[in-house]
Amino acid sequence: MTSIKPILTDSFGRGHNYLRISLTERCNLRCSYCMPQEGVTLTPKPQLMNAEEIFSLAALFVKNGVNKIRLTGGEPLVRKDFPDILSRLSQLPVQLSLTSNAFSIDRHIPLLKDSGVHSINISLDTLQAKRFQEITFRNYFDQVHQNILKLIREGFNVKINAVLMKGINDDEIIDFINFTKDYPISFRFIEFMPFDGNKWKRDKTVTFEEIMKEVHKNFSTDNIIRLDDAPNDTAKNFKINGFEGSFAIISTVTNPFCDTCNRLRLTANGQLKNCLFSDKESDLLSALRNKEDLEPIIKKAVIGKYAIRSGMDSNESFEDLQNHKKNRSMITIGG
């Protein structure tokens, strides 16, 4: 197995073996926590990575120790050349996974299997059709729900990501957990996070403690099982005794997990981000097109990574929205 090379190890000794590649800034949903209501200015197509460039950059990271790549967006499946991109990346000695909203994923199931994709994260913030339309501004719930069930039947490792927001969907916590009773999936609650244009407020965030309080109100302590978390896992994992699946909590806001971070992000326009919350980016795409040596650029970006949340190491600094103004909206970073 490829070991992590020095260029992917930061000044705190964290090795980065996980690369998240955003394929597009476009999406067929319009969730407000991800995309500002007024929309975003899309990067012109010539300034986006093409399939060959995505493969070239991915191969360089794999050479230096990356062994896990997740494809994200926007919605990655809206790219017409998604099959070409996935087929190219499947040639690399790496674990491939995908994050999608599942609306059109059924037509790609044979390709995903042929390319060795076993793990799929689905973004779904409600189990109610009417509320789905209110959150996404699209009437796609039935299609998404059926496709999730199809993925489960086809044997994929399915995780469902739900961003919890007070007054929006926090009344569905137990419904989400009960969904795992008969299906071998993981339902993951993600704290609402601040990004440019998403009107974040601290009091909209549903915390780890609040989620677990609701869990303990509805299930006996003896039936709530704390599972072992995988190395570098961002989630705290649980299971209800007797249920097929499990649930987890990703508490980026109230309990950051930066000390074990092994992730780097490549945006659709080829910018390397060393942290989800950083407004600093390194332009790998221009350097690639100019035939420059990319490794020193990557090394500098990784070494420059802060110990915690791009230097926002207090609640006060993280909750100051001025500190997020220069960062991108979530849809242009990649989920």
CB 263 within 8 A of CB 301: no
Name which residue leads in pLDDT, 335 or 81.
81
Looking at residue 11, what is its pLDDT?
Answer: 96
In sequence order, what are the residues at sequence separation of 6 or more whose Cβ sits closer than 8 angstroms to the Cβ of residue 80?
A: none
Measured at the CA of 121, the angle between CA 116 and CA 126, to 5 degrees, comes to 150
Looking at residue 222, what is its pLDDT?
Answer: 97
Looking at residue 316, what is its pLDDT?
Answer: 80
In a domain, 304, yes or no: yes
Q: Which residue has the tokens 């040639």?
A: 91
In a domain, 96, yes or no: yes
- Residue 32 confidence (pLDDT) above 70: no
Looking at residue 26, what is its pLDDT?
Answer: 87
- Residue 197 confidence (pLDDT) above 60: no
In a domain, 116, yes or no: yes
* Range scoring the smallest mean pLDDT among 32-36, 79-83, 145-149, 275-279: 32-36
- Residue 94 confidence (pLDDT) above 70: yes
In a domain, 198, yes or no: no
Per-residue pLDDT band for 68 (boundaries 50, 70, 90) equals very high
* Range scoring the smallest mean pLDDT among 7-21, 106-120, 203-217: 203-217
> What is the overall mean pLDDT for the chain?
91
Span 244-285, pLDDT tens digits: 999 999 987 788 789 999 999 999 999 999 998 888 999 999
- How many independent structural domains does the chain possess? 1
| Distance in angstroms between the alpha carbons of the first and the last residue of the chain | 27
Span 107-131, pLDDT tens digits: 999 999 999 999 999 999 999 999 9
Full domain range(s) for residue 28: 6-158+259-333
- Determine the average pLDDT of the residues in 156-167: 94
In a domain, 300, yes or no: yes
In a domain, 246, yes or no: no
In a domain, 197, yes or no: no
CATH code at 328? 3.20.20.70
Per-residue pLDDT band for 87 (boundaries 50, 70, 90) equals very high
In a domain, 315, yes or no: yes
- What sign results for the dihedral spanned by CA atoms 53, 55, 61, 64? negative
